[in-house]
């Protein structure tokens, strides 16, 4: 009899525990699915003032409104953007630390550094990107030339005396200039800066003579005459500067550079969190007001997101490896 009563009490306790567990399931599931429940950080691996910061701030503002949580844009510049990229690659894959960048840190850098501390193809997952208008060859307007052919003649007449600026060693500007040198045989001297903004500022001041810069970074200066655009490094003319010919039109072939600004999460981010980030970002960045701002900054109305962006990242790593090889650049 005692044993029977004990069994009944045990069964009763087990039933109460089961009922309590079932009652708690919705709350437990809700706790696991709530994202975000704290501020999100988007790391910009370049100094303030770049096109990357502009796009990153747009993304941060829209995500903050959509999620109802703070989304902070943080600059972690240095080493051509690889410091910030590595910080995100090594961050917890929980959706709270993201990267906004150009190809230079995660598609170009692997071919330029012998010991990069991260593997972009393995350590980043794509969220969203916008195709940029690419790069444009710009010079200080005080130079006695007005088109690409005249620049080629001027540089050949002054070998080793023309300085070109870039936003740092290993960036797309640096790579574009080196490829341009390979294609033309020009003797140009590299002056790396810590970001595109200070480089273009010195270009306008006449401290350097030429730059292969992001169109969105120099468009305003070109339009108001502070810089002179000679050619765009893309297959077709840019909508933002329709009167500027392509390099091919100016007589220089095979110097085109693919360009985009994208947002990435560390690989291993839970699929439900990554999926929500992709869906919300695509929706918010498709808003007509946001699109108008992106186009006004010189970007193209073309986007890649989610798995397609992750795939593009892998493809661009192979593409830039081939460009680096063709340009004859030795990894450092």
Residue length of the chain: 332
**Confidence (pLDDT) at 31:** 40
- 178's tokens: 């080196």
Question: pLDDT tens-digit profile of 92-136?
Answer: 999 999 999 999 899 999 998 889 999 999 999 999 999 988 899
pTM over 0.85: no
- Secondary structure class of 34 (helix, strand, coil): coil
| pLDDT band of 8, cuts 50, 70, 90 | low
Q: Which domains does the chain have, with CATH numbers?
A: 40-132+259-327 (3.40.190.150), 135-232 (3.40.190.10)
**Confidence (pLDDT) at 5:** 47
- Residue 138 near residue 211 (C-beta atoms within 8 A): yes
**Confidence (pLDDT) at 21:** 45
| pLDDT band of 25, cuts 50, 70, 90 | very low
Q: How far is CA 157 from CA 113, 120, 153, in A?
A: 33, 41, 6
Q: How far is CA 310 from CA 79, 116, 315, in A?
A: 24, 19, 9
Which residues are within 8 A (CB) of 250 and not within 5 positions of it... i.e. 6 or more apart?
147, 148, 149, 230, 231
Question: pLDDT tens-digit profile of 265-319?
Answer: 999 999 999 999 999 999 999 999 999 999 888 888 899 999 999 999 999 999 8
| pLDDT band of 327, cuts 50, 70, 90 | confident
CB atoms within 10 A of CB 206: 11
Give the CA-trace dihedral at 195, 201, 204, 206, to 10 degrees. -90
């Amino acid at each position: 009899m005692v044993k029977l009563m004990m069994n009944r009490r045990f069964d009763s306790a087990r039933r109460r525990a089961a009922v309590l567990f079932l009652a708690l399931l919705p709350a437990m599931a809700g706790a696991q699915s709530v994202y975000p429940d704290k501020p999100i950080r988007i790391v910009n691996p370049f100094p303030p003032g770049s096109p990357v910061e502009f796009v990153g701030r747009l993304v941060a503002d829209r995500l903050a409104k959509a999620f109802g949580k703070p989304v902070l844009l943080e600059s972690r510049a240095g080493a051509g953007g690889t410091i910030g990229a590595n910080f995100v690659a090594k961050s917890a894959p929980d959706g709270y630390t993201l990267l906004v960048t150009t190809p230079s840190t995660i598609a170009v850098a692997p071919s330029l550094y012998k010991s990069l501390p991260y593997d972009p193809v393995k350590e980043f997952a794509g969220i969203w990107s916008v195709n940029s208008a690419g790069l444009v060859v710009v010079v200080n307007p005080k130079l006695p030339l007005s088109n690409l052919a005249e620049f080629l003649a001027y540089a050949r007449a002054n070998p080793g005396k023309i300085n070109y600026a870039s936003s740092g060693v290993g960036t797309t500007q640096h790579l574009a200039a080196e490829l341009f040198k390979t294609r033309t045989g020009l003797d140009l001297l590299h002056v790396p800066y810590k970001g595109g903004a200070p480089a273009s500022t010195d270009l306008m001041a006449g401290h350097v003579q030429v730059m292969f810069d992001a169109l969105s970074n120099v468009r305003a200066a070109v339009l108001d005459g502070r810089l002179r655009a000679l050619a765009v490094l893309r297959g077709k003319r840019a909508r933002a500067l329709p009167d500027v010919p392509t390099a091919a039109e100016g007589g220089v072939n095979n110097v085109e550079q693919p360009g985009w600004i994208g947002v990435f999460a560390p690989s291993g981010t839970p699929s439900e969190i990554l999926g929500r980030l992709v869906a919300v970002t695509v929706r918010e960045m498709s808003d007509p007001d946001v699109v108008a701002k992106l186009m006004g900054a010189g970007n193209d109305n073309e986007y890649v997101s989610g798995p397609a962006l992750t795939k593009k990242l892998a493809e661009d790593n192979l593409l830039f490896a081939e460009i680096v090889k063709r340009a004859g650049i030795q990894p450092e």
